Each structure stands twice: as C-alpha cells, then as structure tokens.
Structure 1
Amino acid sequence: MTLTRDPVSPPVALAIAGSDAGGGAGIQADLKAMTAHGVFGTSVVTATTAQNTRGVRDVHAVPAGHVASQFDAVSDDFDVGAIKTGMLATAETVETVTGLVGDVAAPVVVDPVMVAASGDRLLSPEAEAAYEGLIGAATLVTPNADEAEVLVGGPIETPADAERAGRELVATGADAALVKGGHIGDGDTVTDTLVIGNTEGDATVVRFKNPRVATDATHGSGCALSSAIAARLARGEPLRESVAAAVDGMGPAIRRGYDVGEGPGAVNSTVFDERA
C-alpha cells in the first residue's frame, strides 16, 4: 500500500550561534528547544568548538562572509518568524550579523554570549564593543549577570541591580531586556528581571521568581532559554507571555537535565514540550 504524504507546516525560527561538539549548548541546544516548541529550527553556524562536559578545548570562528552566505540561504527559502543569536566569536561577525538582522522584520532575541561559566571573557574588547549595535536592533536581549556587567558596567548583585542594567539596555535601543538571575545570590529563589520599554521612554518591570535547582549542571541553559523565547515569538505569541513561559520551563529543563559525560551535565531542552 502506498501512503499519502501528510506534511506539517510549523513556524520557522533561525538560530545564529556556535556549534557545541558536546551537544549540550550552542546550535545543538537551540534546535532541540525550538523543536520542543513545535517550531522548525534553521541555523547559521558562526564558530565550531571542540568541547565536552569538562570544558572548551578549541574554538574556530567561521569567516563572516560565510556567516552571511548561510543567512542569505536560509532567508531566501524560509519564512523566518524569529531569530536568536548566541555565540558570535569575533567583532566582524557581530557587525555582520547586526547588518543582517537589521534588514528583517522578524523579532530578534540576542543572547550575548560573552563570559564562560569559569568567569573568563570569551570575546575581545572590540567584539564586546560591537555588541552595542546588535543590542540596538534587538527585540529582547538576555544577558546573565556577568554579561550584563560587561554590557553596562558596575556590579550586578541584586534584583535592583538587574533592573538598572535592564533599563540601561533598553535605553541603548533594545525593545526589552531579560537579566537572568541564576548568578545573582545563592538563596533558594532565582529572580529573573524583565524590563520592557515603550514609546514614551518609560519601562515596565516584571520579575519572575522560581525555586533554585541545587546543581551546577546548567550547561546550555542560556541557549535553551533564548531559543525557547524565539520559538514562541515565531509562533506569534506576545513578548511578555513568551518570556514568562520560557522562564517557567527552565526549572524542569535543569532539574531533569542530562547526566552524560564526566563533567557537569547539560539542561534537557526537550522537556519544554510539556509546557509548549
């Protein structure tokens, strides 16, 4: 018996980020989270990394011209409903991506991957400075506390500091900023701070409080969160609701994470399908 093809036509999202050979973060985590939200994920690879659960051994940046070629190939064929950016590796790539996303109408979620879990800076000062233009083109920027410190200066140690940083990022040009609270304090509660700007120059502040999961196996959490938000935006959901749902799903993603490899495990982006 010959079967009739019965295809589906999901929304499409695009991840612009580096590849994680260990599979826990980067493009690999992005596509898992997008799929879990019923969205077809496409990708532009900005760098390849030789890494595993114990650390990063080597990084090879993809030439900016090839980054642009990948983007053109995707945008020429797919109706991209939302874009997220992750690791961009070099100042030239940051500037190239800024120009590319500035020409599209789709919402853009910028995850500014700048600081490793060890606290080491991942980008040159020139690349960090280049982020100002990309943040200005962002629908949402999602730094953790360490990255927010790089972007706005000054310590981010409390939710009040996170709000200040979010307001500064909105003033820089982003429509909204989500300052993640996983690195703020060590209590039982994680507080993520969302600052949404408006045309009058004011801002709405929303705080999301969730129980902290007692683990250091959070590899890929920032990638999964930003990709989950982008996927929901691609589905046509409003920004605030997209952020709330994605943040709500991070607890289960961390608690039911992958225990693989010899180092700390990775988050389980696929559990988002229970909340999509």
Structure 2
Amino acid sequence: MVKKYIPVLSIAGSDSGGGAGIQADLKTFAALGCYGMTVITATTAQNTQGVRDIFPIPPRHIEAQLMAVLEDIPPKAIKIGMVNQPEVVEVLTSTLKNFPQIPIVFDPVMVATSGDRLIAEGTVALLKEKLFPLATLITPNLDEAAMLTGYEVDSVNKMHQAGKDLLNMQCQAVLIKGGHLNTPVIQDILFQKEMPEQSYESTYIKTKNLHGTGCTLSSAIAAVLAKGNPLPKAVEMAKNYVNGALESGKDVNTGQGNGPLNHFYNPQKQIIYEMD
C-alpha cells in the first residue's frame, strides 16, 4: 500500500499582506487537512488597506509552474483565482482541457475588497468563452456578477437572474455570493444545470476582517471536493468553515484596514490515504 496526501492546487495571485490569494488558499487547504500546491499568476504589493501594485507573471512561466505540478503531483481539485491577462487564460485553458477529471472551482477575482480593479481590459470576454466551460463551479460575488452580466446585481431577485444568465454562458454551476447586500441573513445561491436552485443562509457577522473571504470560500470548496464530496455538500461545508473563520477572527486587529479571517480556528490533521 502507498500512502498519499490529498493534493489541491491553487492558481492565483500572491497577496504580500497574507490575507487573500495564494496565501489564503494555502492556509485553507492546510486547515482542511489537504496538501496545498500553487501556480502564481501575479504578485501584488498590498496590505489590509489596499493594492499598491500588480506584477503579472509571464505566461510561459505560469505554464511551466502548471506542468511541473500536473506531471508530478496531480491534484484532486483545482482552485483558480486571479487571471488578469488574456494570455494567461489561453495558457490555462489549453492545458487544463486535457485534465477533465479534475474538478475546477473558479473564483473570478476582478475587484479587491478595497475596491481596486484586479483584471485587465479584454480578459472578461475570454474568461467567458474559454475558462467557464472547463470550470465545475464559478463563485462570483455581486460586483463580479455585475461585471460578468453587464447589469447591477443588488438584490436577491437580481441574484436569481444573474445565476440563470451565467449558466447560459456555458457554466456548469454558479454560486452567487450575497454577502455584499449586508442584510441580517446572508444568502448564497447555487445554480446547476437541470437542477433546482439551492440556497445557503448564514447570519451576518459584523466585522471589518473580510479580506480574502472569497478566496477562502472557493479554496475551501475545492478542498472539500478533493475529498470526494458532491458539489452541494462541498458548498455547505465550505460555508460553515468560512463562517467559523469569520466569527473567530472578527475582533482581531491585523493591520489598519480590512484584516483577514482566522483560517486556523479549528485545523484538521493532514489527511493521508492509502492506495494500491
């Protein structure tokens, strides 16, 4: 018998402040008992107060990172975050289309918590055309859903409309996140082709420490999928994890702006399984 970890890959940008992006994803994978790996698409100069600069990684090096991982440690699931250049979309899709058995959770990172735009012009259309069809799930927040659909998504009714419209953009499944409505009860809605909509409700947590929430949720879904759970269950378990991380970190001061979640509030031991 051969012992193995459960490997999960994050393809995303690096957050120098440690709260979002690759850093948040690795913390999440580790907290949920998985073995995290990375393909860095960009480095950012940022902290809890905002993004100061973005340095894109050359597409050929992104491809080299991706192939190095896939050829040696095939992941059980992939989370994709910041894809801010058209050339990066081309590299990812041309490679990942050859691995249809690996579930992909795509968090279309376009705007930072601070309001800073994180995606280059011309990339959105290519994401819809080439990356959406490969993704098991996309997880836009309300701002991202608005950028993708072309209209404001500022109510639960609009969330339902956006979810249906995004499914028609070759998406297999869409999770519209309603946290930006700032209502007493937060509602996220899962849309799947030929399946009834599924709503996930949670109590609003008053805190400024929201930096990296979307990154953490999408990477948690990927980690739970990697363990073999079906998508609706993965979303439920990931939301429970994020809510716990928000609650336990809501009063912690990290920096002078929007602080991070407490990813390690209830860490799991790294999972090891055996195979012939």
TM-score in terms of structure 2 length: 0.91
Question: Residue 50 of structure 2 contacts residue 116 of structure 2 at CA under 8 Å; is this kept in 1?
Answer: no
1:98 and 1:169 mapped to 2: Cα distance?
19
2:219 and 2:199 mapped to 1: Cα distance?
20
Note the C-alpha offset of 1:80.
1.0
User: In structure 1, what is the equivalent of residue 109 of structure 2?
Assistant: 113
Q: CA RMSD in A?
A: 1.7
Matched residue of 1:229: which SS?
helix
Alignment equivalent of 1:59, drawn from 35, 51, 54: 54
What letter matches 1:145 in structure 2? L
Gaps of 5+ in 2: 272-276
What letter matches 1:246 in structure 2? A
**1:160-192 deviations in whole A, cap 9, x for unaligned?**
2112211222221221100111112x2211100
What letter matches 2:216 in structure 1? A
1:261 and 1:241 mapped to 2: Cα distance?
34
Question: Equivalent pairs: percent with the same residue?
Answer: 42
Question: Residue 50 of structure 2 contacts residue 114 of structure 2 at CA under 8 Å; is this kept in 1?
Answer: no
Q: 1:50 to 1:81 in 2, by over 3 A?
A: same
User: In structure 1, what is the equivalent of residue 254 of structure 2?
Assistant: 260
Matched residue of 2:199: which SS?
strand
User: In structure 2, what is the equivalent of residue 221 of structure 1?
Assistant: 213
TM-score in terms of structure 1 length: 0.91
Matched residue of 2:267: which SS?
helix
Note the C-alpha offset of 1:8.
5.7
2:267 and 2:188 mapped to 1: Cα distance?
22
* Structural mapping, 1:92-103, within 5 Å: 92-103=87-98
**1:75-111 deviations in whole A, cap 9, x for unaligned?**
0101310001001221111222122222212000000
Matched residue of 1:154: which SS?
coil
Note the C-alpha offset of 1:219.
0.2
User: In structure 1, what is the equivalent of residue 17 of structure 2?
Assistant: 22
* Structural mapping, 1:1-276, within 5 Å: 9-104=4-99, 105-132=101-128, 133-184=130-181, 186-197=182-193, 202-257=194-249, 258-271=252-265, 273=267
2:154 and 2:231 mapped to 1: Cα distance?
26
1:79 and 1:101 mapped to 2: Cα distance?
12
Runs of 4 or more above 6 Å deviation: none
Relative contact order (C-alpha < 8 Å, sep 6+): which is higher? Answer: 2
**1:175-221 deviations in whole A, cap 9, x for unaligned?**
1100111112x221110011111xxxx33201111001111210010
Question: Residue 13 of structure 1 contacts residue 231 of structure 1 at CA under 8 Å; is this kept in 2?
Answer: yes
What letter matches 2:107 in structure 1? D
Q: 1:120 to 1:231 in 2, by over 3 A?
A: same
Note the C-alpha offset of 1:155.
1.4
1:168 and 1:270 mapped to 2: Cα distance?
36
